[in-house]
Amino acid sequence: MDQQSNQELWKLIKEVQNGNKEAFREIFERLSNKFFAYTFSRTSNRDDALDIVQETFIDLWEALKKFQYRSDESFYGFIFTITKRKLSRYYKSKNKVVLLNEKSINENYEMRQEDHRHLLKHINMLTSKYQDILKLRYWSDMTFGEISSVLNIKETTAKVWHHRALKQLKINLDKNDNVFKS
């Protein structure tokens, strides 16, 4: 994040804390797509994902009154915590396993279109932390700094987990059908 971005977001948050609805609209417009992408990757249902994002930002409006800004990343982590709680409630209400959508997450390998279902099966077999890293990185298009704040880990840990997740995914896929082409 650059210094100007930090200043802009900090100013918007201060304005929201003073009741400025237009400042909140600006925050929503800047961030809603990232959180929608992540929520959609978790629910595989556009309408449910939209509802969860909407509920997240409604809760954020109230929560910002007490929020203490430290950095953009900590702010993203704050919103992500609200989103995770909403997703938890969603899972409990649906009482079902949520499948990932069919978006390819691997930048390092080419995949054939027909292999997406096979890929999803193997992504679902990864540990929860590896699934979260991949979803935040590729579905929500977050930087490692943002991911580290969201998951409350060091940035280097996020990079290591990302590397290990891709490595484990490749190993799992190579064991079966050699889905990846070098």
Residue type, 144: F
Quote the percentage of the chain above a pLDDT of 70.
Answer: 77
Is the pTM above the cut of 0.85? Answer: no
Half-sphere exposure of 98 (CA within 13 A, CB side): 24
pLDDT tens figures, 63-93: 998 888 888 888 988 999 999 899 888 887 7
Under CATH, what is the fold of the domain 101-182? Arc Repressor Mutant, subunit A (1.10.10)
Q: How is the chain split into domains, by residue range?
A: 1-98, 101-182
Report whether CATH 1.10.1740.10 matches the domain 1-98.
yes
d(CA 150, CA 31): 14
- d(Cα 35, Cα 150) in Å, to the nearest integer? 12
**Do the domains at 1-98 and 101-182 have one common CATH topology?**
no
Please report the pLDDT score of residue 91 as a whole number.
80
Mean confidence (pLDDT) of the chain: 79
